[in-house]
Structure 1
Amino acid sequence: MGYGYVKLMVQLKRHHQLMINKKKVYRLSKEMGVLKPQRQLQRKYPRKLARNRTVMGPNQLWEADLKYGYIHGEDRFFYILSYIDVFDRQIVGYYIGLRCDAKDVVMTLESALWKRKLFTDGQAMPVIRSDNGPQFISHTFGQACERLGIEHERIPPKTPNMNAHIEAFHRLLEDDRLSAAEFETHAVAYETVDTYMRWYNHERIHSSIHYLSPIDFHREYLKRGPFPFKPIFV
């Protein structure tokens, strides 16, 4: 029958005219071994609102967001997930696929942390800033951040300016690649976006990072220490 003890109480009263309360039904059901297993309540992860920060070095603040692309030849959309380091503008991790679930967001984050060698003992983890998309508010992502010792903050609704760096990158991606081509297959779309990501990180210069590419600026920072630059306020 699959009833819990409350519904069992209702049935006993309704069909057998028994005067019995739910506490007694619970106790008897437990003694008889017929108590229906209780659902495990999922832990709620408190929402942390994004706050003003001063970024002075790499791996302090990463912004994350999703973007859609369209495959004309297959008449369907695909997903692009990107993590950007606010300090050096590098896309530290990205994912391209026909689906993008919370597990894909976690997998991409873990891969980026490995690439930046942040699993070494004593390394501080970046703060992750995102919007309120379902992948980012999921229990899967919340559990992963807790396990990794990462602070996850979310921007208030309708405030994309608080995620300005990843929004700006996705606008570049749209203007430079997504709106400039009609993809016939998912494979072509994947290869095009993947090539752009590598070009952006290794070749595209930014005036805000001394007219260097993100990769070059990151390497120079590690080699020489902080440049004479203005702090980034986000």
Structure 2
Amino acid sequence: MDGAYWCIDLGTALASDSDMGVSLPPAFPYLTEVDLVADPFEMVFYYAYRPLWLCARAVKFVNNEDGYPDRPTLHVWIELVEELEQWYRERPQEFQPMLELETGDQLAGPERGFPVVLFANGAGLFGNQLYHTAMLMLLQSRPRTARTAGFHFAAMSPLWHAQRICSIALHNDRRECWDPCLLASFLMAARRMTHESQQQEVLQGFERIRIVTGWNASGCLQKLRAEWCLLDET
């Protein structure tokens, strides 16, 4: 699986609200626990790129209402959510935050700010941000008959996922970790931010990204400001 090529294509799809341009393999390579323990590199690959594959599948689900003619839409949605939640539950220590503070915690920042979610390595950051991105897209396209009683309450909140995407992006200052996927994911989540303090943090974050990477996202930010104005008017 060419992860770099998928990142570019997925980033384009997320930024343009369109479908993936590449076909997806029907299944992700299966590795046993013995395989993952025996080869640390395989473990990192598996837990970093499985969310990439699942996020790409979520994009195809959202953009193709008739993409699964032989299976009910509800069943496909539940399967994707269950696979994402399984990844989240089973991710090893290396893919869990080294620090996580909710907005209600005294140290997490001002009211209505973002939680603090920090990762010790780029693979953990990448995998978790794409997990939240896939969940955000699926929850925004949730079938009316989908029952979520079996899932953790926070995991079924689009806002919870959007805020974590923003937090991960805002605390990522490593140039090598930024790619089109993560930038487009950050833009997608930022659209849901309704409070001025959050919006200012997002704009400051994109300025830091420009300084670190040299990417100019001014056009995207103009559209983002326009969407925020529409939210204020509703």
TM-score (norm. length: structure 2)? 0.23
Q: Which has the higher helix share?
A: 2
Q: Which has the higher strand share?
A: 1
TM-score (norm. length: structure 1)? 0.23
Give the greater-gyration-radius structure (CA).
Answer: 1
